[in-house]
Amino acid sequence: MADKYIDMFKLIEEVEKQHSMNIDDIFSNLDSLKNGEVTYQRPKNTVSSSSGNVTLIRKPTIPEDIGTYDTRFSAFRGIIEHVSYGSSGNNDYVEGHKDALQKYYQDAYNNSKDLYVIEARVNDEINRYTSRTQLYEKGYYDGLFYVLKALNRSKELLMNRLNREINQKL
């Protein structure tokens, strides 16, 4: 009958041992950091290419200053033209990203009066795009999202500009 009861003192002692062991592990990890013995952890924003090389990916961001614009298309064009890839070089990711931007820039140029058509096309392609295992495909997919963000940002910029003009005239 005594075997069914848990000895609380032994249980507490075991928990304290585990707790102190975790603290000791923390201090030993700090000591290893001081000595420069750091283990490498793969960053979250990396992709492996087909050759097995790990490539750091820096997604371009929407620029704040795009110059002057009168229409939604000119704001969109300014955002697309001011994209910066940094010093990542000419890798497959950048090529895929550029291809998506060029494709939808040309569509936007052809439909400059109605960019809602382009938004619908980009959304459809994003929903249909399934493969993102290669760097080019990942870049193209991220390029689609960049185009969608650029379209939304151009809409916001134009609405803000019109709002300022209306408020000035009132």
**Does one domain contain both 22 and 53?**
no
Asked if residue 17 has pLDDT above 50, the reply is yes
Q: How far apart are CA 137 and CA 160, in angstroms?
A: 34
Percent of the chain with pLDDT over 70: 64
Whether residues 14 and 94 share a domain: the answer is no
**In sequence order, what are the residues at sequence separation of 6 or more whose Cβ sits closer than 8 angstroms to the Cβ of residue 82?**
63, 65, 66, 67
By CB atoms closer than 10 A (0-12, 13-18, 19+), residue 27 is exposed
Question: Does 17 share its domain with 51?
Answer: no
Q: What is the pLDDT of residue 40?
A: 39
Does any domain span residue 39? no
Is 32 a residue whose pLDDT tops 60?
no
Choice among 14-23, 63-72, 102-111, 115-124 with the minimum mean pLDDT: 14-23
Domain identity same for 99 and 128:
yes
Q: Domains in the chain: how many in total?
A: 2
Q: Are the beta carbons of 92 and 49 closer than 8 angstroms?
A: yes
Please check whether residues 163 and 114 belong to one and the same domain.
yes
151 falls within a domain: yes
**Are 30 and 50 in a shared domain?**
no
Q: Are residues 26 and 51 in the same domain?
A: no
DSSP character string of the chain:
-GGGS--HHHHHHHHHHHHHHHHHHHHHHHHHHHTT-PPP---TTEEE-TTS-EEE-------S-----SSHHHHHHHHHHT---TT--S-HHHHHHHHHHHHHHHHHHHTTT-THHHHHHHHHHHHH-----SHHHHHHHHHHHHHHHHHHHHHHHHHHHHHHHHHHH-
Shared domain for 99 and 162, answered yes or no, is yes
Backbone angles phi, psi at 56, to 5 degrees: -80, 125
Whether the pLDDT of residue 44 is over 90: the answer is no
Based on the domain organization, do 16 and 80 belong to the same domain? no
Within this chain, do residues 22 and 101 fall inside the same structural domain, yes or no? no
Neighbours of 88 (CB within 10 A): 14
Interval 82-91 mean pLDDT = 73
Is residue 114 in a domain? yes
Average of pLDDT values for 80-106?
Answer: 84
Q: Clarify whether residues 50 and 134 are in a common domain.
A: yes
Mind listing the pLDDT tens digit for each residue in 49-86?
Answer: 455 555 566 778 777 777 778 888 998 999 998 888 77
pLDDT(2) > 60: no
Tell me, what's the pLDDT at 90?
Answer: 58
Residue 129 clears pLDDT 90, i.e. is over it: no
**Residue 40: inside a domain, yes or no?**
no
Q: Quick one: average pLDDT of 125-145? A: 87
- What's the CA gap between 125 and 13, in Å, rounded? 60
Q: Which of the listed ranges 40-44, 81-85, 99-103, 128-132 does the model predict with the highest average pLDDT? A: 99-103
The domain of 13 spans 2-34
User: Are 70 and 9 contained in the same domain?
Assistant: no
Instruction: State the pLDDT confidence band at 148, using cuts at 50, 70 and 90.
Output: very high
CB neighbours of residue 49 within 10 Å: 15
Domain assignment present for residue 83? The answer is yes
